[in-house]
Amino acid sequence: MKKVIVLVIIGLLFLPVFGSASIFTFRYGYFVPRFGGGPNSLWNIEFENMSLTKSDYQSGMIGLAYEYFLNSKLSLVFSVDFYSRDKAGFYRDWTLYSVNSQNFAFPAQYYTGGNMIIHSFEVSQTPIQISLKFTPLGRRVRFVPYFGGGTGIFIWSVRMHGDMVDFSDPYTYSDPDLGNVTVYPVNYVMSDESNRISIGYSAFAGVMIPLGNRMTLDVGGRYQFLKVNFRDAFQGFEKFDLSGYCLSLGLNYWF
């Protein structure tokens, strides 16, 4: 939330450069990430191994926008939105045991008395965009449909804190009843790629419904296109897909 406030203040400082805004918008949306990627996607690895689900990362997205009319049907929109989800999960098929003072993941189907192996997985993004918005019927109609698209910078972070199973380093545990059992070391991690910046794109459409002389209800949908490269903590994973769609409801104040 602090990040959003700072960005809004910056926007207010630069607003006089463009003249008075024609519309100020506050909106609240529901963001559904695409969760794209192959077997080496961090999304897919987390969902395959952990108790985390896709619905855990479908969440609210708040936004602010200033709209400056270029003519009766075309306008320029400056917007900022914020999304963040931090959820903790446990490995579904593995349980924690200590052997010779080192932690290992044992198959949960055979070993039921161990501890859960838990870590948190956090994803956040703040798109700051400039867009062109087209109102084909103009602004003096009962319902004002619109569509458009734009580009901008996306400030994003991906963090993982807690215990992680290292499946690249198997060990053999000699169980007196089961024989040789493959186990894996468990390490505490604090992996963090924070405040990275990438270029993204979006397309949107919706309708504005008058509520009075200066207020309209804004019902819309937006799809954003964004795949980012890891370079630090999560190097080796494929591009992380932060694309997705957002359905939003907002209030417009017309100047």
Kindly report, residue by residue over 201-241, the tens digit of the pLDDT: 999 999 999 998 889 999 999 999 999 999 888 988 999 99
Given a cut of 60, whether residue 80 has pLDDT beyond it is yes
Q: Which pLDDT does position 11 carry in this prediction? A: 53
Q: How far is CA 87 from CA 46, 119, 155, in A?
A: 11, 9, 20
Interval 39-61: pLDDT, tens: 899 999 999 999 999 999 999 99
Q: Cα–Cα distances in Å, from 32 out to 18, 74, 108?
A: 33, 28, 32
Domain that holds residue 180: 2-254
Among 14-18, 182-186, 210-214, top mean pLDDT goes to 182-186
CATH of the domain at 113: 2.40.160.20
Higher pLDDT residue, 9 or 187?
187
Q: Can you give the pLDDT at residue 8?
A: 52
Q: What is the mean pLDDT of the chain?
A: 91
Q: CB of 29 within 8 A of CB of 63?
A: yes
pLDDT at 116 exceeding the cut of 50 = yes
Distance between CA atoms of 139 and 146, rounded to whole angstroms? Answer: 10
Distances (CA, A) of 79 to 7, 114, 207, 226, 243: 10, 49, 17, 16, 17
Domain total of the chain: 1
Statement: residue 132 has pLDDT above 80: yes
Quick check: 21 pLDDT over 60? no
**End-to-end CA separation in angstroms for the chain:** 26
At 4 the pLDDT is: 52
Give the model confidence (pLDDT) of 134-160 as tens digits: 999 987 888 999 999 999 999 999 999
Give Cα separations from 16 to 22, 75, 250 (angstroms).
12, 16, 24
Q: Which residue has the higher pLDDT, 121 or 11?
A: 121
